[in-house]
Amino acid sequence: MKKNANRVIDFRYAPDINQTCIGFADDYYKTIVREDGSLNYLWEGDRNQFVDGTIPACEKRVLNLQEGNLGFKYRYLPRFYHRDTLTEKRQDFGDPRAAVVITREEYQGTSFQWTTFAHRDKNGARMDIILFRMEAKPGFGHAKSSVYLQELGEASDPPETVRPISSAYALPVGTPRIPAPIALYTPIYRGKSPLEKLVLQEGDVWEGAFGLVYHGTVDPEAFTLEYAEKALEAACEYWREIRPFRNAFHIPDPQIQGMLDACGRNILQAREIVEDICEFHVGPTIYRGLWVVDGYYFGECAYMMGRDEEGFQCLQAVLKRVKPDGSIRILPDHHKETAVALSTIVRQCELRNDDDRLREMWPVMLRGMEHLRRMRDDSFKLGKDYPAYGLFQPSFGDGGIYGPEPEYTTPMNVILGLSDAYRAGKRLKLPRYEEFGVFAQELMARMRECIERDRGTTPEGIPYVPLSMAENESYKPQTGCATIARVAFHGEFEPDDRIVTDLLRLIDACDDREGIPECTGWRSDQSIYTYSSVRFAQLLLQAGQREKAADYLYAFANHASASRVWREEQPVRETHSAEICGDMPHNWASVEFIRLVRNLVVLETFTGVELLPGLPEEWLPRAGDSLVLEKTPTRFGKLSLELSVRGKGGYLLSVAREDGNQQPQYLGLHWAGKAVLDGGELEKSNGKYLLPLEEKQVCIELF
């Protein structure tokens, strides 16, 4: 793909089916607003869009897309009774920081819009509110009408129809998990027609509100239009004050900043408090839960958002899953989880600069290693004809690889986890740290033997590593290859390793239609596994392809909906495919967006820190609008950076860092022009300027 000269976020590849969560931070009630403006809740966890290897078998797993409910038992859509012809429909989301959805419908004779948001009153009652406004256009004439909530839920056990005949409706109770709401309705019809006649005439404006009460009670007589309007003001104020980023994280490109603000909010909306611990959940429906692999990145992102203690609780949540056999796991057959947990422990302690905590958890890590070794030994029992002999028993690969089957994602992640533990143990001289390194080397040697045996070539002549050793006609050469990007970015393959260079050629060959690679995940035909593109971008950045890394970021953003959330997997827009997969909002995508933006500005290596390694031209500051990262975490301590306009021309780069328990060997600045400190140009090495390590705070002039 060629460099994108016009980086604009216009959501050109937004999925047709959109889901936006309007719940509060840590909210138990994950109400979803769809692209049609309907409120959807009580998602039934035994349902998925298609038969999917990520979900355990059950009777009601397959969902007919034509049904339109996408697994939600209750759906409500504002409608009016009179007849008219729809000419335009759109949604607005306003301030990216706020979870407020405005749906507008234009008809030949009617304008109809409604605003949807969450509300919690001073007594703790939790409800969703719909504020509506309907106007009869010039030439409308007159017609009997009313506004009501249409029921779009399942035919079995539906709630009673909500009709405007009184101020409160008690709906049947749903499952014990989330009850059906109490629906409140307050019509305020403003205009020439009196309420009792319900006749809409040209020029009339009717306004009103619905309330769906999930928890607690609300006095129906108190639920007025004024109540609802004040609740909207309170909701907007709540979101202005929530501050997902506790420290400054500002990018001068307002498109990117809006995405960041929404990503931070989305992460908090999906999160939940479980047994007094913050659990960062991927989404509000199919992925509503804790996941070990995803949790590594959620925890790291929490630190980047300045939420250190909440990030550490992410680790605590993972450690609650330690089993008597030493494994740390949640999903059956997801054997890599123990190794990813080892990486999580190391990374969390690095970001906290807390070696004592790492020493405390070292016995847990040793038991985890012993469990992984026993699993490796189990592969020997399957005989030398078993494709993953000397690696692991059949496993659930994830990321596009089904299973259980012999595959490569498990050994790759195990090698990474062992290597992370080895590096940490060696630095602190912890007992038996050498065993982690020896085990990692054994697995790497055997895995490379298998890779040479299995390496394939695309019809275009590009070599590739198939991530599964099993025969599966649905797999493509790029299926599941985001795993290679992950482990390579974290240091297990050098940039010039054939595995990496072949991968970069492979993704470049399949990213032309929509700017990011196709068919890298669960759907192997005409499909975009959206957030895998950001993991490829991290690898591109590390490989020095900074422009392409930035292009992937913007293209990834253009696959979000206008509410700035992503579906895990969606069809290529120019095709007739309707296949979708996974949750929406899918907040691992939000996490990866934040991580890539941070790394384009501040990127860690094992030995130092790269400053501005992938800074796009669009992010250069303007007068009064600086680029700022405040106390962004690294394994070498927290670092603050500000890039601002210099009064006499050029820019000023201020860098301040706090001491960590590791010291960097270098601080490298990537800048194409001249970098001056105290009147003298900085020394340059390997294409980057070197900042003095003895200075904790410097201000550099850039020309």
Query: pLDDT at position 175, please?
Result: 27
Of 372, 40, 349, which is closest to residue 178 (Cα–Cα)?
40
For residue 50, what pLDDT band results from cuts at 50, 70 and 90? very low
Task: Give the phi and the psi of residue 643 in degrees, each rounded to 5.
Answer: -115, 120
Residue with tokens 């040209």: 202
**Does residue 327 register a pLDDT over 70?**
yes
Query: pLDDT at position 178, please?
Result: 43
**Does residue 423 register a pLDDT over 90?**
yes
Residue with tokens 């960590």: 660
Query: pLDDT at position 185, please?
Result: 61
How far out from the chain centre does Cα 384 lie?
41
Residue 581 β-bridge partners = 569
H/E stretch holding 20 reads strand 19-21
How far out from the chain centre does Cα 525 lie?
23
Q: Are 400 and 412 in contact (CB under 8 A)?
A: no
Q: How far apart are CA 337 and CA 639, in angstroms?
A: 31
What share of the chain has pLDDT > 70, as a percent? 90
For residue 49, what pLDDT band results from cuts at 50, 70 and 90? very low
**Does residue 195 register a pLDDT over 90?**
no
Q: How far apart are CA 255 and CA 7, in angstroms?
A: 10
Q: Are 170 and 206 in contact (CB under 8 A)?
A: no
Query: pLDDT at position 71, please?
Result: 81
Residue 276: which residues within 8 A CB-CB, separation 6 or more?
Answer: none
**Does residue 53 register a pLDDT over 90?**
no
Helix (H, G, I), strand (E, B) or coil at 628: strand
Q: Are 506 and 478 in contact (CB under 8 A)?
A: yes
Q: Are 278 and 26 in contact (CB under 8 A)?
A: yes
pLDDT in tens, 481-534: 999 999 999 999 999 999 999 999 999 999 999 999 999 999 999 999 999 999
Q: What is the DSSP letter of 334?
A: -
For range 231-245, the mean pLDDT:
96
Query: pLDDT at position 62, please?
Result: 40
Determine how many CB atoms are found less than 10 A away from the CB of residue 61.
Answer: 16
Strands (E), 237-355: 249-250, 272-274, 277-279
Rg (CA), the chain: 27
Q: How far apart are CA 34 and CA 103, in angstroms?
A: 10
**Does residue 160 register a pLDDT over 60?**
no
Task: Give the phi and the psi of residue 630 in degrees, each rounded to 5.
Answer: -105, 120
Query: pLDDT at position 182, please?
Result: 61
pLDDT in tens, 628-647: 999 999 999 999 999 999 98
**Does residue 366 register a pLDDT over 70?**
yes
Query: pLDDT at position 647, please?
Result: 85
- Alpha helices in 429-531, H assignment, sequence order: 433-454, 482-489, 498-508
Residue 628 β-bridge partners = 250, 642
Of 430, 351, 358, 357, which is closest to residue 636 (Cα–Cα)?
351
Mean of pLDDT over the chain: 90
pTM: 0.92
Of 223, 206, 200, 81, which is closest to residue 149 (Cα–Cα)?
81
Determine how many CB atoms are found less than 10 A away from the CB of residue 235.
Answer: 21
For range 226-244, the mean pLDDT:
95
**Does residue 98 register a pLDDT over 70?**
yes
Query: pLDDT at position 197, please?
Result: 59
Residue with tokens 């409608």: 79
Query: pLDDT at position 45, please?
Result: 57
**Does residue 42 register a pLDDT over 90?**
no
Q: How far apart are CA 381 and CA 384, in angstroms?
A: 9
Following CA atoms 327, 328, 331, 333 in sequence, which dihedral angle do they give, to the nearest 10 degrees?
Answer: -30
**Does residue 678 register a pLDDT over 90?**
yes
* Token pair belonging to 416: 């990474």
Q: Which position has the higher pLDDT, 147 or 342?
A: 342
What share of the chain has pLDDT > 90, as a percent? 80
* Token pair belonging to 318: 């993972």
Query: pLDDT at position 5, please?
Result: 58
For range 22-39, the mean pLDDT:
95
For range 673-677, the mean pLDDT:
96
Of 326, 339, 469, which is closest to residue 394 (Cα–Cα)?
469
**Does residue 654 register a pLDDT over 50?**
yes
